[in-house]
Amino acid sequence: MKTLDKWVDVRKKQTREVTDMTVTIVKDESLNSYITLKEVNDLTKPHKIPVNGRWITKLDKNYTILEYTPLDKLYNVRVHINDKEQILEYYFDIILQNEIRKIEGKDIPFYNDLYLDVIYYQKVATQTDNFILLDDRDELKDALNDGKIDQEEYDLAYEVANSLMEELLTNNNIFVNRGLKDYYKYRKNKVKGSLN
């Protein structure tokens, strides 16, 4: 295997436009995962993406990103939640590895991004039905052609993505099945809602 060096600090991922946010990081032993909750208080402009032929707001003031960094999986997942407490998408980064770094006395999750992504759009975003997208295949292929990864890592990315998509199709992904549970449990800046 090559030595991939594409490390991502979960506190900073998907927050380019954000100017003020509250970040909560906890370890959930039962999930063998770190949970990062990024509550957006202010940003320079809303972040919009095209979904199913229309533009949707993926990140705005009072939106939240709930992020799982499982210690026993080769993916990291961000759950994008709008200001109406609706899940827009689950965004899975396929990874080579993760690690917990001690920064200013706190455990901070990092992951080594293996280019390929699986996005699980929800009905709120698509306005039709849930939809799975395998994204950044060209970026993964370019990384192989440029020698940033080797064939073993390339194959591993697809193996993990295919297994993950099968879990999504059969409703067997532990993080998707948690719904809004952890959002309600760990949020700081919103009035507590009731669990459904």
Task: Tell me 44's DSSP state.
Answer: S
Residue 140 CA to residue 127 CA, distance in Å, equals: 30
Lowest mean pLDDT among 15-24, 28-37, 110-119, 166-175: 15-24
Q: What CATH class has 7-186?
A: mainly beta
Q: Is 129 exposed, middle or buried (0-12, 13-18, 19+ CB in 10 A)?
A: exposed
Lowest mean pLDDT among 25-39, 84-98, 144-158, 174-188: 174-188
Using the predicted structure, report yes or no on whether residue 192 has a pLDDT greater than 50: no
Going by pLDDT thresholds of 50, 70 and 90, the confidence category of residue 1 is low
- Both tokens of 108, joined, read 């901070």
Average pLDDT, the chain: 92
Q: What is the pLDDT of residue 196?
A: 29
What pLDDT, in 10s, does the model give residues 131-159? 999 999 999 999 999 999 999 999 999 99
CB-CB contact of 48 with 57 (8 Å):
yes
Going by pLDDT thresholds of 50, 70 and 90, the confidence category of residue 194 is very low
Q: Are strands 33-43 and 64-70 parallel, antiparallel or unpaired?
A: antiparallel
Q: What is the pLDDT of residue 2?
A: 66
Using the predicted structure, report yes or no on whether residue 89 has a pLDDT greater than 50: yes
